[in-house]
Amino acid sequence: MGAHSGQTWFVVDPRELLAGRGQVTQCRPSLSRGRQVLPFIRADRTILRRGFVILHGAGGADQHAGLLKLIQPRKVRTSCTIEVNRKVGRCFVTVAEDVEAERATLADTLETVGPSASAGCGTWTAFDLAAHIVGADRAAGTITFCIRVVAARGVQFRPKAQVVSYAINRERRGGYPALLARVRRRSPRLLLTSAVAALTLFEVWTHHDDLATANGLVHGAPERLALAIPPLMRYHTALLPSARFVVRTTNGYQWTFGPDGSDLGTVELFGSTADLVRWLAGRAPLSALDVNAAPAVVDQLHAFTGTI
C-alpha cells in the first residue's frame, strides 16, 4: 500500500484472481491494506498478464472507477482501464465457478446413471470415473497442480496405467455414495489458480461429456471452456503440423498459434467450443470443424489423434 497524488493504493491478492497471461476474466478481488481486509469490490473484464495487481483511485474500496496496473516489483509493465462497481459480495472467479458448477452437475449425472454405467472412457465405469475425479483432489491438489502446470506449457505427461489404476482403486474403497459427496465438494484452491484453472475445467467437463454421451444424455459446455484451447494446442504442438493456426470459436474467442511464414501456410479452424475441445481431446473427428488449409495439411490434421 502507498499514497500517490492523493490516492490510496491497495494490493490485490493475486490468489483471489483467476486469469492467465492475456486472458480475460471476471472477478471480485479482496483488497488488503496492511493487515486490514477491505470490502470486496467487483472488477469486470480485467486483463491480467503477469506480476502483481494494484487498483488505485480516490475512495478506496467504494470507488466507481479505477486504473488497473499490471506490474512486476519496481517496474510497471502495462495498464488498462476497468470499471469498478459498488456491489459488495463474496469473492468469486468466473472459471472457478464453472468448475464447481460442472462438478455439481457431474455428481448428479453419476448419481443418475449408477456406479456400473459406462463412463465412455475405455473400460471405466461411473464408479471408476468418480474415483478418478476425487483422486485429483488428494494432498490439496498439489500433485495434480504440478502435472497440469507442465502440461499447460506443452510438456507431455502420461502416467503409467498401473499408477492410474492404483489411484482409482484406492478411492473406490469408501464406496460410491461417499465419492459422490466428495465430487460435490469444492475443488482444492490450488486447482483453481490461474496457471491451471482452465485445464481443471477441461478435465471435469471432458469426463462429464464422455459419461453423458455414453449414456445418451445431453451435455452443454460453459462459455469459458474455450480458455482450455490454448493450453491444449500447446500440449499437442509436437503432434500438429508446424503451420500457422488461427482458431476461432462460435462464441467469439480467437487465437493464433505457430510460426509466421510457415511453409505449410495458415490453418483456419472454426467451430463450437465443445467440438474444438473434443477434437483436441481425441473425442471428435476433424469433420466436426470448419477447416481451411492446404490439402496436404488437412490430411495431416485428419491423421492427428489428440490423447490427454
**242 and 132 together in one domain:** no
Question: Would the pTM count as exceeding 0.75?
Answer: no
Residues 215 and 231 in one domain: no
Identify the CATH number of the domain in which residue 107 sits.
1.20.120
143 lies in the same domain as 58? no
Its domain, for residue 193, covers 94-220
308 is a domain residue: no
User: Do 76 and 103 share a structural domain?
Assistant: no
**CATH number of the CATH domain containing 235:** 3.30.1050
Burial of residue 48 (CB within 10 Å: 0-12, 13-18, 19+) is buried
Identify whether residues 272 and 178 lie together within a single domain.
no
Q: Distance between CA atoms of 161 and 165, rounded to whole angstroms?
A: 6
Residues 152 and 234: beta-carbon distance below 8 Å: yes
- Among 85, 106, 133, which residue terminates a domain? 85
The domain boundary, picked from 183, 204, 220, lies at 220
Grid cell at residue 258? 505457430
Same-domain pairing of 98 and 215: yes
Asked if residue 251 belongs to a domain, the reply is yes
d(CA 72, CA 212): 44
Number of separate domains in the chain: 3
Over its length of 308 residues, how does the chain's per-residue pLDDT go in tens digits? 333 333 333 333 343 344 333 333 333 334 333 333 333 333 333 333 333 333 333 333 333 233 333 323 323 222 222 222 222 233 334 899 999 999 999 999 999 999 999 999 999 999 999 999 999 999 999 999 999 999 988 888 788 889 999 999 999 999 999 999 999 999 999 999 989 999 999 999 999 999 999 999 999 999 999 999 999 999 999 999 999 999 999 999 999 999 888 889 999 999 999 999 999 999 999 999 999 999 999 999 999 988 87
Taking residue 295's Cβ as centre, other Cβ atoms within 10 Å add up to 6
Domain boundary among 191, 220, 249: 220
